[in-house]
């Protein structure tokens, strides 16, 4: 699935099942909440925190997909074409960081 297809699929779902988009600020708050849930699982699975009973069995991919879903909602609401934005972002990083990471002693 492409980013464009994902944006279209989310939009279709919102319009048929979800009734309407939440407001942009509400979705921004939801995005923050979803990132927090992802961070919680990451901290327990890969960090030093121990799992609480309520965190056991959480699906990391599902948590990432929740973040992506809300990000796509925000892109749709604000008229951002994620394919174009992502391509521009890769170009920016490639130009800016062409030698930076190769010369970073911390990465060797």
Query: Which domain CATH number covers 11?
Result: 1.10.287.1080
Dihedral sign from CA coordinates of 76, 78, 81, 85: negative
Residue 44 lies in a domain: yes
In a domain, 106, yes or no: no
The pLDDT of residue 74 is 98
Please indicate, yes or no, if residue 40 is contained in any of the structural domains: yes
Is residue 94 a part of any domain in this protein? no
Tell me, yes or no, whether 90 lies in a domain: no
User: Which regions of 1-108 does DSSP assign to beta strands (E)?
Assistant: none
Which residue range is the domain that position 44 belongs to?
Answer: 3-82
Question: Which residue is listed with tokens 């994620």?
Answer: 82
Distance CA 6, CA 66 (A): 13
Q: How would you write the pLDDT of the chain (108 residues) with one tens digit per residue?
A: 999 999 999 999 999 999 999 999 999 999 999 999 999 999 999 999 888 888 888 999 999 999 999 999 999 999 999 999 999 999 999 999 888 888 888 888
**68 domain residue, yes or no:** yes
Answer left, alpha or beta for residue 62, where phi above 0 means left and psi between -120 and 50 means alpha.
alpha
Question: Whole-prediction pTM value?
Answer: 0.89
Residue 25 falls inside a structural domain: yes
Tally of domains in the chain: 1
- Which pair of structure tokens corresponds to residue 106? 């911390």
Residue 27 lies inside a defined structural domain of this protein: yes
Handedness of CA 74, 86, 5, 40 (dihedral sign): negative
């Amino acid at each position: 699935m492409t980013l464009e297809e994902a944006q279209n699929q989310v939009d279709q779902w919102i319009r048929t099942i979800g009734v309407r988009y939440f407001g942009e600020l509400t979705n921004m708050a939801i995005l923050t909440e979803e990132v927090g849930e992802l961070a919680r699982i990451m901290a327990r699975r890969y960090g030093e925190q121990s799992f609480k009973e309520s965190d056991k069995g959480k699906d990391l991919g599902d948590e990432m997909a929740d973040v992506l879903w809300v990000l796509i909602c925000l892109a749709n609401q604000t008229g951002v074409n994620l394919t174009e934005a992502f391509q521009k972002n890769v170009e920016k990083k490639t130009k800016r960081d062409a030698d930076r990471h190769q010369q970073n002693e911390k990465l060797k």
